[in-house]
Amino acid sequence: MSNDSSPVDLQGTLIRFWGVRGSIPTPGPSTVRYGGNTTCVEFRTGGEIIVIDAGSGIRSLGGALLKESAGNPIALTLLNTHTHWDHIQGFPFFAPAFIKGNRIRVIGRKLQPDGLKSVFEKQMDGTRCFPVPFAVLGAGVDFQQVDDESGYHFQIGPVKVEACPTNHPGGCLAYAFETDHGRVVFLSDHETGGADEARILQFIKGARLLIADAQYDALEITSRRGWGHGSVDEVVDLAIRGGVGELYLFHHDPTHDDERIDSMLVQAREIAASLGSPLVIHGASEGGEIRL
């Protein structure tokens, strides 16, 4: 598929944000800069197409992939962090899944007792939740579950991937990728300050890039403990302790407009500066690209 005219450099590492919002899509003029679609991040490295989560942002990604493939078969891996709505709700609108010849490998947490596939099937039950049943999808969709027994290490083509349970109701997985350009960690959804923080700290250690749930500010989290999301000040502290190079604030709260996220970003940078840290901090925004 790679050729000189391809818009995607398959030799390098490319990360594209298609959805950066948490909980529920938030379209409208007040969220136009950071974007209103829920979680979906495209990750290209080692010649692989990896998609992290199928929030509503995956619909636009589907269109872009069809355009890029120009009728050729598409093979990709969908890494699912967990099955809360904002991480799967876009899948029924992911056009490549409807096309015969395409291959989608879904990898996610082992779910008891019915398995990961059953959640995707129930979301597309053909009646109560969605009019088109999962069974009519034309693409080959395979499911692979990750748990303690199967080990949290696996490969996607040549790309080494490591998973780590996060502190989130019902469970969730963070993913780390070893690229030629350093370790890249995706840590959403995760409530900072939990008992398992030592494991998470080890997981993000030395990452070149950390994309992390920073849904709340220091005040908001006090009334939302147990909801499974991070606060900006604690995420910054975690990233600094982990020796992270760059941090992207992610999983923006649906009640936060662009100005509010701007001010949280300023606050995050002030915290890092006050600690004398060289940590570089960005706010993840829909349409944003990172090339390593």
Residue numbers at the binding site for Zn ion (CB under 5 A): 22, 84, 86, 189
Distances from the Cα of 241 to the Cα of 42, 109, 190, 211, angstroms:
27, 27, 17, 15
Residue closer to Zn ion by CB (options 44, 84) is 84
Residues 6+ apart with CB under 8 A from 150: 110
Residue 55 beta carbon to Zn ion: minimum distance, rounded to whole angstroms: 8
Question: Taking CB positions, which residue lies at the least distance from Zn ion?
Answer: 84
**Residue closer to Zn ion (CB basis): 47 or 85:** 85
Structure tokens at 266: 């300023």
CB 215 within 8 A of CB 242: no
| C-beta closer to Zn ion: residue 86 or 234 | 86
Q: How far is the CB of 134 from Zn ion (least distance, A)?
A: 22
CB of 88 to Zn ion, least distance (A): 10
* Nearest residue (CB) to Zn ion, 84 versus 252: 84
d(CA 112, CA 185): 26
Least separation in angstroms between residue 172's CB and Zn ion is 6
**Paired residues of 282 in beta bridges:** 248
Question: Cα(258)–Cα(268) distance, rounded to whole angstroms?
Answer: 15
Angle (nearest 5°) at CA 22 between 17 and 25:
85
Task: Report the residue number, 189 or 257, with the smaller CB distance to Zn ion.
Answer: 189
* Rounded least distance, CB 57 to Zn ion, Å: 12
Please report, as a single letter, which amino acid is at residue 285. S
